[in-house]
Structure 1
Amino acid sequence: MQVTDQTGSLVVLSRPVQRIVSLVPSQTELLAALNLDEQVVGITKFCVHPENWFRTKTRIGGTKQVHPDRVRALAPDLIIANKEENVKEQVEALAAEFPVWVSDVNDLPSALSMIRDIGIITDRGQPAGQLADKIATAFAKLASFPPKKAAYLIWKEPYMVAGGDTFINDMLTHAGFENVFASQNRYPAVSEEALLNSNAEVFLFSSEPYPFRPQHLETFQRAGRTCLLVDGELFSWYGSRLLQAPAYFSILQQQISQAANGVHGT
């Protein structure tokens, strides 16, 4: 079977695929949702969902530091990677030995395409298509919120925010926010002063990759800004977890309304 991945590379696969290694947490969870427990033989140390896989599957390193010897020992007939989350040189080295399918997800449409494509290459086309349709329907039913200017923080020391060419930025738009750093690419570092001088009405502090806590919001709250701790997985995971995102975004808007009325943080 010959398929083209989301980066435009041709991948030759055996049929059916029997031994899968996933290098991406959100795509690992997708494979579980597609009932591929027997086929998935390796995951990363960051693939925390589902919990039983995290406890029992062989870990081949991290998303940025894959151990090729551990991968070889698993003899995969398919490796699933991602353009942003994995290191290009490591992926290319693996592709010289094994079939590697690479996703490139920047928004909801490309996430839905990824879900459908992975379903096809793993012989789960029908359930993957149904899952993608459910996610699309859930987002279509999401209420339209008056846009609020926001900054989405992913790191501290230095502060880093989500830029405009990220999947997070697209989720912010769906959730009713206008990213004040949308003119910048990827995840730029910004100073505390620049954050406070921005026109952000809301500061969203993500649970990952930096685990922000309530005390990290205090400086911004003292400046009179609306601040919320948010579930980073529901803004950045682009697999089956997307099904939960619309309901979460609705709850988040309710929390922001409460915060605007004097109840800061969560």
Structure 2
Amino acid sequence: MGHVISLPDLPQRIISMVPSQTELLFDLGLEDRIVGLTKFCAHPKPQVKQKAIIGGTKNFRFDAIDELKPDLIIGNKEENYKEGIEQLQQKYPVWMSDIYTLDDALQMMQQVGQLTGTEAKARELTQGISTGFKSLQPAQPPITTAYFIWRKPYMTVGSHNIIDHMLQRCGFQNAFADLARYPEITQEQLQQANPQLILLSSEPYPFKKKHVAEFQEICPQAMIKIVDGEMFSWYGSRLLHASAYLRQVIEEVKQEP
């Protein structure tokens, strides 16, 4: 957003506007300095329940934020909304991330470490994540894949986002990479794309086993799997566990007839 912030001291009252970055802040050991987070910040489980809620990622409660008197707000360009962030920037230091790849995520973690005086812990986290992903062997040959994030209307994942990047790391060739970042598609488009693999994400739409038959009817030849959306889309410290999960998904896909 072209906005520069300056922090005279290490922040002591931090608000996080993004679930995956909230989890990162806790994993950096900043629990005592986190004062507010969104209603979607689900991890780490009991700790987030102790913190004030400042609304959602795309509808902030400015009165609640003002009461918390933050000295640093951490957001993300895709997950938050520009007008709300610009309003906050008039009063508070707001630091924004913009994540499309694993390298972007690792850089974000190091920068958050610098902002909060937790560089050593951030370095330890990023090294662990890098090591995990270096050993991730993509499927060969690549498997044509459609990754769904919504139902009614059907929404899938296009290019230029972290999920598409994770699919590539797995050797899953995105069937809709030539469309918008998160395109709505029809049954006919899905049939035409004829993917070998359909992944139904657990979030933001909570796809369950009962939805598999619906997609199997549209694409009888496709292999269909429910996957943990956090492992494909959360770009904070959850990436420490993502490589092992993705390795398991690749193995399961390769073993199915």
Question: Which TM class, normalised by the smaller chain length?
Answer: over 0.9
Letter in 1 for 2:164: N
Query: Normalised by the size of structure 2, how large is the TM-score?
Result: 0.96
Q: TM-score, normalised by structure 1?
A: 0.93
Q: Aligned AA for 1:157?
A: K
- In 2, are the aligned partners of 1:196 and 1:220 still within 8 Å (CA)? no
Deviation digits for residues 217-245 of structure 1 (CA, Å, limit 9, x no counterpart): 10332423100000000000000000111
Provide the residue aligned with 2:230 in structure 1.
Answer: 233
CA distance in 1, matches of 2:214, 2:56: 33
Equivalent position amino acid for 1:59 in 2: I
Equivalent-residue separation in structure 2 for 1:162 and 1:14 (angstroms): 41
- Residue aligned with 1:209, SS: coil
Q: Does 2:256 align with 1:242? A: no
AA of the residue aligned to 1:123: G
Q: Which amino acid aligns with 1:51?
A: K
The structural deviation recorded for 1:63 is 0.4
- Structure 1 CA distance for aligned equivalents of residues 95 and 63 of structure 2: 19
Aligned to 2:53: 59
Structure 1 stretches of 5 or more lacking a match?
1-6, 262-266
Pairing 1:140–2:134 present? yes
SS in 2 for 1:240: coil
Find the aligned partners of 1:152 and 1:179 in 2 and give their Cα distance: 8
Whole-Å separation in 2 of the counterparts to 1:47 and 1:80 = 13
How much does 1:67 deviate? Answer: 0.4
Q: Is the 8 A contact 1:161 1:188 kept in 2?
A: yes
| 1:198 counterpart (193, 198, 219) | 193
Measure how far apart 1:199 and its partner are: 3.3
- Structure 1 residue runs of 4 or more that deviate by more than 4 Å after TM superposition: none
Cα distance in structure 2, aligned partners of 1:14 and 1:200: 53
- 1:14 is displaced (CA, Å) by 3.0
Q: What is the CA deviation profile of residues 146-192 of structure 1, one whole-angstrom value per residue up to 9, with x for unaligned ones? A: 11110000000000011111110001111221101111221010011
The question of 1:41 aligning with 2:35 is answered yes
Alpha-carbon distance, 1:8 to partner: 4.0
In the alignment, which of 3, 14, 20 is matched to residue 14 of structure 2? 20
For the residues of structure 1 that align with 2:95 and 2:179, how far apart are their CA atoms? 29
Aligned counterparts of 1:143 and 1:106: Cα–Cα separation in 2: 20
Query: What is the rounded CA distance, in whole Å, between the counterparts of 1:135 and 1:66 in structure 2?
Result: 31
Q: Secondary structure at the match of 1:133?
A: helix
Q: Distance in 2 between matches of 1:8 and 1:136?
A: 29
Pick aligned residue for 1:32 from 22, 26, 31:
26
- Distance in 2 of aligned mates of 1:38 and 1:84: 27
Gaps of 5+ in 2: none
